[in-house]
């Protein structure tokens, strides 16, 4: 390959890209960038559904003994909220980032299997429609996103909501697995010459490890959903105790998927943070090897921790201790990452763009969620706090304070690449501060509510001392958070039309996606820059101070 | 109604969890302060103010990275040692000890059986102070979870299995708890009351619960008894001595001796009992207690009868 000394210029006019964007162009597309954008747009729609569901729940819980919603409606809302946010928002939006960015980062023309990529997306969307069709069919699922048997069995949930849920999960699961296979094949086979695994950008590393988690975790929930469907419709007895089945078996299947799923939702966010923090600190990542290896460690350990969701089941002390130790162990590679990111910032020149603000806030918010996770690994404390609002606070600090802050950082970081326009930084700052205030106001107090004895998944609660104002605070916070997202959506809408032109590399970043135009042409690269290290654009722009010459391993 | 905090332990079991909880919370708090302090300090100290050159890259430092691998590992190992010890003290082995109370979770109420004394009650369980009581846990329908934070650990009640946990109370008082596993529509109204009494009071309560209440011979209460037997009440409820044996709903033999109705939804006063019988679907929507559309006269008679069940 010939060495080139100037960055590639945009190969086509942005307006041309616009004119090609007819509906059929999208629906029939096998281009990884279009599919990725469809993943993200569908996730935004589902996020609005899930967010409105959350706000309705918070309205119901604002005051004690409230009758704003019926218990049936409330149960449907929290079931849909959990299922939506996990299966239809977090995972697909991260797969969207993966399918957009990973091929560009490794200098590829597209994903390894472009048609499989389209299949994965459309199956996910079909699963989402199945889940929401249950509302039109007259009965949304109301047994919780965890669908514990025997409550989810026909005897206790006789209407069709659970069936729609199970079928939706199956469709989503198959789609997600096919996209994961695709990402692995892409990273394994389509890296540009020179990009060894040791030079692979960390976001691509984490997307690949994440894809292995998906391949090994999703089949457990898919098998379980199929068994549940058979139980309900063909009168099998997998999960009912009366004929030798076991409700606990469902929990093993579910959490054997469910805990790796947590890492499926956080690893790509770790990847985003690992890209954003170095770029805006103007320093290469500190301890690339530890960051990548700790990801693999998390991936392996994540399959040995599932029963920490089941300490209250009464599996016996030896079993509990095994899974407690596994859960404590997984905190170590997670902690390594946090410290590596902090040391990356140390001595840097930190530019507080909105992307960086979200990344820095991620470090603190996610640490809160990680530390309360350690608390749940301590079996006797889990015996007290599991299934209370303390746990609701914990998962939201992990999945919102962690994953969602990472996603928002990624949105502000890569939006210029997706669209060729910059998001407004002024609106971005509003978005950021409203998110931080709203998020912490909503969820921090829930730690206290849980410790004060409030169980989760209750549609209302008695007027116990202090519960009222704590719940009211949480509700007010939720609406501030909702407003923060209106600012984000307005920013996206406005900037897409009227934002400043971004140019190829507005952040002076170093990975290959910034070495092509914004948005990239359909073929991605006319010519891919040579890769001699982890930061190809840096090496290209600073031939006297390449990473290899500065002492970084290449 | 009073709150029930994990930070106000009232048994040796709850105390040992409390100590561990405080220790772990402090440790986690220190780490949080350290991490957020470093993040905020770095954000301020190394913020771009213009004019800086390109910062010097630092690709790694094995010694530093090993340090923040090993130090957290040591802390976690210490926490795990305390964890195992606290598991022993907060959830000691049950051995061959027979169950003192058998709890059966129902959608959406609690059945409490006293196997030695031989009676059944509901939603409110009495225990003697300073006496560890072994609670057997089962479920009649879906999974429930028995949790009284001030007295000890929670444990799931899984249909087809029999769990066992120790609870105790160090002071005569009423302790509240709740179902902690989502069990369907009225999961929210599955509150528990544990009434810890001095040994004498407990003994007299036991004695009173063992009695079969006298049948009212005349008056409104007698009319109420008649209605109870003739309407569909008896399909689901049992009142000893009346020939009723329903097991779908709570045993009502000594209903009037309880403090609350419908698993904590209402106070057990004649007025609220009237309202509950009149419109159970308003007070606990989704509950299996049907609205029988009773007339005012019928309601007054049944309330009069139930009030005799001391």
**Average pLDDT value over all residues in chain B:** 95
Q: How far is A237 from chain B (nearest CA, A)?
A: 13
Give yes or no for residue A16 having a pLDDT over 50.
no
Confidence of residue A510 (pLDDT cuts 50, 70, 90): very high
For the segment A64-70, the average pLDDT, to the nearest whole number, is: 95
d(CA A419, CA A414): 9
- pTM for this predicted structure: 0.95
Q: At what angle do helices A161-189 and A114-136 cross, to 10 degrees?
A: 160
Residue A3 reports pLDDT greater than 50? no
CA dihedral B161, B189, B176, A307 (to 10 degrees): 40
Task: Give the model's confidence band at A14: pLDDT under 50 very low, under 70 low, under 90 confident, else very high.
Answer: very low
Alpha carbon of A25: minimum distance to chain B alpha carbons (Å): 43
The distance of B76 to chain A (nearest Cα, Å) reads 6
Read off the pLDDT band of A550 (50, 70, 90): confident
Residue B112 backbone phi and psi in degrees, to 5: -115, 120
Distance CA A421, CA A433 (A): 22
Closest Cβ opposite residue B184 in set A156, A313, A338: A156
Closest residue by Cα to residue A179 from A231, A111, A103 = A111
Q: What is the pLDDT of residue A15?
A: 44
B218 and chain A in contact, CB less than 8 A = no
| pLDDT 10s digits, B15-62 | 999 999 999 999 999 999 999 999 999 999 999 988 777 898 889 999
Return the pLDDT at A20.
53
In this predicted structure, the answer to whether residue A25 has a pLDDT above a threshold of 80 is: yes
Q: Return the residue of B nearest to A61 by Cα.
A: B188
Percent of chain B with pLDDT over 90: 94
Q: Considering only CA atoms, which of B238, B246, B273, B278 is closest in space to residue B259?
A: B273
**How many beta carbons lie within 10 A of that of residue A126, not counting itself?**
16
CA distances from B296 to A152, A267, B261, B281, B301 (A): 39, 63, 20, 17, 9
CA proximity to B164, closest of B1, B293, B13: B13
Give the C-alpha separation, A303 to A176, whole Å: 18
List all residues 6 or more positions away from A493 whose beta carbon is below 8 Å from its beta carbon: none
For residue A21, pLDDT over 70 is answered with no
Identify which has the larger pLDDT, A545 or A365.
A365
Give phi and psi for A270, each to the nearest 5. -55, -40
- Work out whether strand B124-128 and strand B133-139 pair parallel, antiparallel, or are unpaired: unpaired
B102 strand-pairing partners: B113, B136
**Residue A553: which pLDDT band, with cuts at 50, 70 and 90?**
low
**CB of B226 within 8 A of CB of B305?**
no
Residue A287, Ramachandran bin (φ over 0: left; ψ between -120 and 50: alpha; else beta): left
Q: Is the per-residue pLDDT at A4 higher than 50?
A: no
Instruction: Enter the ipTM.
Output: 0.96
The minimal CB distance from A342 to the residues B39, B58, B76 is found for B39
List the Cα angle B239/B245/B246 in 5-degree steps.
100
Is residue A310 pLDDT above 80, yes or no? yes
- The alpha carbon of residue B10 is apart from the nearest alpha carbon of chain A, in Å, by 14
Could you report how far apart the first and last alpha carbons of chain B are, in Å?
Answer: 22
Question: Do the chains contact at A455 and B83, CB–CB below 8 Å?
Answer: no
User: Which residues sit opposite B125 in a β-bridge?
Assistant: B194
Q: Is B67 part of the contact surface with chain A (CB cutoff 8 Å)? A: no
The three-class DSSP label of residue A125 is helix
Sorted by sequence, the CB contacts under 8 Å of residue B91 that are 6+ apart come out as A317, A380, A383, B13, B152, B153, B165, B166
pLDDT per position as a tens digit, B135-181:
999 999 999 999 999 999 999 999 999 999 999 999 999 999 999 99
A53 neighbors A484 (Cβ within 8 angstroms): no
Q: What is the pLDDT of residues A336-352, one digit of tens each?
A: 999 999 999 999 999 99
pLDDT at A137 over 50: yes
pLDDT of the residue at A491 = 98
Which residue do the tokens 């779908």 mark?
A: B248
Q: Radius of gyration over alpha carbons of chain B, in Å?
A: 27
Band the pLDDT of A13: cuts 50, 70, 90.
very low
Q: Tens digit of pLDDT for each residue in A74-121?
A: 999 999 999 999 999 999 999 999 999 999 999 999 999 999 999 999
Instruction: Name which of A117, A341, A106 is nearest A204 in CA terms.
Output: A106
Q: Which among B16, B79, B180 has CB closest to A378?
A: B79
**CA distances from residue B6 to A397, B13, B147 in whole angstroms, order as listed:** 21, 11, 11
Structure tokens at A355: 């992307």
What pLDDT sits at residue A10?
52
| Mean local confidence (pLDDT), A325-337 | 95
> With 50 as the cut, is the pLDDT of residue A554 above it?
no
Statement: residue A290 has pLDDT above 50? yes
The shortest CB-CB distance from B156 to any of A312, A321, A352 is to A312
Closest by CA to A457, choosing from B264, B156, B180, is B180
CA gap B132, B164 in Å, rounded: 12
Are A71 and B286 in contact (CB < 8 Å)?
yes
3-state SS of chain B?
A: CCCCCCCCCCCHHHHHHHHHHHHHHHHHHHHHHHHHHHHHHHHHHCECCCCCCCCCCCCCCHHHHHHHHHHHHHHHHHHHHHHHHHHHHHCCCCCCCCCCEEEEEECCEEEEEECCCCEEEECEEEEECCCCEEEEEEECCCCEEEECCCCCCCEEECCCCCEEEEECCCCCEEEEEEECCCCCCCHHHCEEEEEEECHHHHHHHHHHHHCCCCCCCCHHHHHHHHHHHHCCHHHHCCCCCCCCCCCCCCCCCCHHHCCEECCCCEECCHHHHHHHHHCHHHHCCCCCCCCCCCCHHHHHHHHHHHCCCC
Torsion of CA A155, A157, A158, A160, to 10 degrees: -150
A10: CB partners within 8 A, 6+ apart: A504, A517, A518, A521
Lowest model confidence (mean pLDDT) among B2-16, B161-175, B188-202:
B2-16
Question: What angle in degrees, to the nearest 10, is found between the helix axes of A405-419 and A91-105?
Answer: 50
Residue of B51, B92, B154, B161 best to disrupt the A interface, most CBs of A under 10 A: B154
The CA R_g of chain A, rounded to the nearest whole Å, is 23
Burial class (CB in 10 A: 0-12, 13-18, 19+), B79: buried
- CB interface of B with A, residues 175-214, below 8 Å: 176-188, 191
The answer to whether the CB of A276 falls within 8 A of the CB of A332 is no
Nearest to A275 by CA among A261, A260, A288, A294: A288
CB B116, CB B129: distance < 8 Å: no
What is the Cα–Cα distance from B263 to B125, expressed in whole angstroms?
12
Q: What is the pLDDT of residue A552?
A: 74
B41 in contact with chain A, both atoms CB, cutoff 8 A:
no
Chain B partners of A317 at a C-beta cutoff of 8 Å?
Answer: 84, 87-88, 91
Q: Are A251 and A221 in contact (CB under 8 A)?
A: no
CA distance A506 to A501: 9
Q: Is A501 helix (H, G, I), strand (E, B) or coil?
A: strand
Closest to B148 measured CA to CA, from A163, A407, A148, A383: A383
Q: Provide the β-strand partners of residue B194.
A: B125, B175
For residue A191, the SS3 value is coil
Q: What is the pLDDT of residues B213-244, one digit of tens each?
A: 999 998 999 999 999 999 999 999 999 999 99
Q: How far apart are the first and last CA of chain A?
A: 19
> Which residue of chain A comes nearest to B16, CA vs CA?
A380
**Residue A544 forms contact with B (CB below 8 Å):** no
Centre a 10 Å sphere on the Cβ of residue A215 and count the other Cβ atoms it contains. Answer: 16
B153 vs A383, A387, A457: nearest CB: A383
Q: Find the CB nearest A378 among B16, B24, B188.
A: B24
Q: Which two tokens stand for residue B246?
A: 């329903």
What secondary structure, in 3-state letters, does A402-457 show? HHHHHHHHHHHHHHHHHHCECCCHHHHHHHHHHHHHHHHHHHHHHHHHHHCCCECC
Alpha-carbon gap: B276 to the closest alpha carbon of chain A (Å):
16
CA quadruple A427, A432, A437, A438: dihedral sign: positive
């Amino acid at each position: 390959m010939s060495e080139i000394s100037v960055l590639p210029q945009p190969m086509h006019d942005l307006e041309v890209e616009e004119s090609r964007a007819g509906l059929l162009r999208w629906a029939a597309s096998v281009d990884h960038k279009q599919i990725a954008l469809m993943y993200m747009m569908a996730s935004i729609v589902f996020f609005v559904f899930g967010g409105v569901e959350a706000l309705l729940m918070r309205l119901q819980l604002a005051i004690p003994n409230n009758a704003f919603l019926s218990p049936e409606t409330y149960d449907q809302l929290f079931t849909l909220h959990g299922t939506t946010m996990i299966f239809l928002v977090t995972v697909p939006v991260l797969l969207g980032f993966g399918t957009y960015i990973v091929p560009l980062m490794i200098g590829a023309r597209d994903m390894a299997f472009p048609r499989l990529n389209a299949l994965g997306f459309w199956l996910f969307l079909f699963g989402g429609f199945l889940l929401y069709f249950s509302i039109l069919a007259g009965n949304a699922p109301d047994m919780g996103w965890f669908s514990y048997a025997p409550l989810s069995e026909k005897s206790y949930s006789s209407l069709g909501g659970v069936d729609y849920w199970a079928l939706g999960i199956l469709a989503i699961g198959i789609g997600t697995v096919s996209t994961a296979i695709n990402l692995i094949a892409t990273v394994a086979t389509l890296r540009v010459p020179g990009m060894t695994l040791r030079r692979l950008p960390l976001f691509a590393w984490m997307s690949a490890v994440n894809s292995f988690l998906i391949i090994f975790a999703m089949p457990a929930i898919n098998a379980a959903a199929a068994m549940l469907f058979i139980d309900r419709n063909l009168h099998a007895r997998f999960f009912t105790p009366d004929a030798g089945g076991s409700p606990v078996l469902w929990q093993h299947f579910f959490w054997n998927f469910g805990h790796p799923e947590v890492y499926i939702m956080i690893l790509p966010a770790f990847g985003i943070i690992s890209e954003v923090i170095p770029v805006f600190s103007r320093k290469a990542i500190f301890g690339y090897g530890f960051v990548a290896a700790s990801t693999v460690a998390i991936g392996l350990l994540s399959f040995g921790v599932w029963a920490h969701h089941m300490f209250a089941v009464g599996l016996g002390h030896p079993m509990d201790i095994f899974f407690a130790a596994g859960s404590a162990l997984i905190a170590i590679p997670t902690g390594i990452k946090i410290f590596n990111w902090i040391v990356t910032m140390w001595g840097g020149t930190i530019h507080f763009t909105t992307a960086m603000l979200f990344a820095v806030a991620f470090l603190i918010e996610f640490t809160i969620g990680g530390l309360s996770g350690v608390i749940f690994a301590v079996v006797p404390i889990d015996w007290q706090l599991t299934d209370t609002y303390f746990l609701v606070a914990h998962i939201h600090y992990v999945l919102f304070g962690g994953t969602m802050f990472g996603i928002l950082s990624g949105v502000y970081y890569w939006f210029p690449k997706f669209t060729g326009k910059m998001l407004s930084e002024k609106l971005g700052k509003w978005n950021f501060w409203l998110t931080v205030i709203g998020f912490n106001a909503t969820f921090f107090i829930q730690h206290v509510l849980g410790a004060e004895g409030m169980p989760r998944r209750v549609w209302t609660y008695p007027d116990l001392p202090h519960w009222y104002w704590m719940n009211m605070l949480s509700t007010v916070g939720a609406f501030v958070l909702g407003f923060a997202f209106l600012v984000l959506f307005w920013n996206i809408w406005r900037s897409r039309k009227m934002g400043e032109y971004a140019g190829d590399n507005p952040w002076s970043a170093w990975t290959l996606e910034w070495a092509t135009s914004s948005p990239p042409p359909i073929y991605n690269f006319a010519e891919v820059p040579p890769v001699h290290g982890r930061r190809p654009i840096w090496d290209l722009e600073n031939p006297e101070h390449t990473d290899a010459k500065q002492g970084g391993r290449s | 109604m009073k709150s029930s905090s994990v930070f106000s332990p009232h048994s040796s079991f709850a105390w040992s969890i409390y100590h561990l909880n405080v220790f772990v919370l402090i440790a986690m708090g220190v780490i949080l302060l350290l991490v957020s302090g470093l993040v905020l300090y770095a954000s301020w100290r190394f913020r771009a103010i213009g004019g800086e050159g390109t910062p010097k890259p630092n690709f790694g430092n094995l010694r530093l990275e090993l340090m923040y691998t090993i130090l957290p590992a040591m802390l976690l190992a210490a926490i795990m040692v305390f964890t195992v010890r606290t598991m022993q003290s907060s959830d000691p082995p049950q051995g061959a000890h027979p169950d003192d109370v058998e709890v059966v979770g129902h959608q959406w109420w609690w059945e409490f059986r006293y196997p030695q004394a031989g009676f059944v009650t509901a939603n409110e369980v009495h225990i003697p102070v300073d006496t560890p009581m072994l609670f057997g846990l089962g479920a009649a329908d879906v999974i429930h979870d028995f949790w009284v934070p001030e007295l000890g650990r929670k444990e799931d009640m899984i249909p087809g299995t029999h769990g066992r946990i120790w609870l105790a109370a160090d002071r005569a008082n009423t302790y509240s708890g709740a179902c902690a596993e989502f069990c369907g529509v009225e999961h929210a109204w599955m509150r528990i009351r544990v009434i810890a009494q001095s040994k004498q009071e407990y003994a007299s309560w036991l004695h009173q619960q063992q009695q079969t209440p006298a049948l009212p011979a005349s008056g409104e209460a007698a009319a109420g008894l008649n209605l109870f037997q003739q309407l569909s009440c008896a399909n689901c409820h049992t009142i000893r001595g009346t020939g009723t044996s329903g097991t779908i709903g709570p045993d009502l033999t000594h209903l009037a001796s309880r403090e609350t109705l419908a698993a904590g939804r209402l106070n057990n006063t004649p007025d609220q009992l009237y309202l509950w019988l009149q419109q159970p679907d308003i007070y606990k929507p989704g509950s299996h207690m049907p609205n029988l559309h009773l007339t005012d006269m019928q309601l007054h008679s049944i309330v009069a009868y139930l009030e005799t069940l001391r």
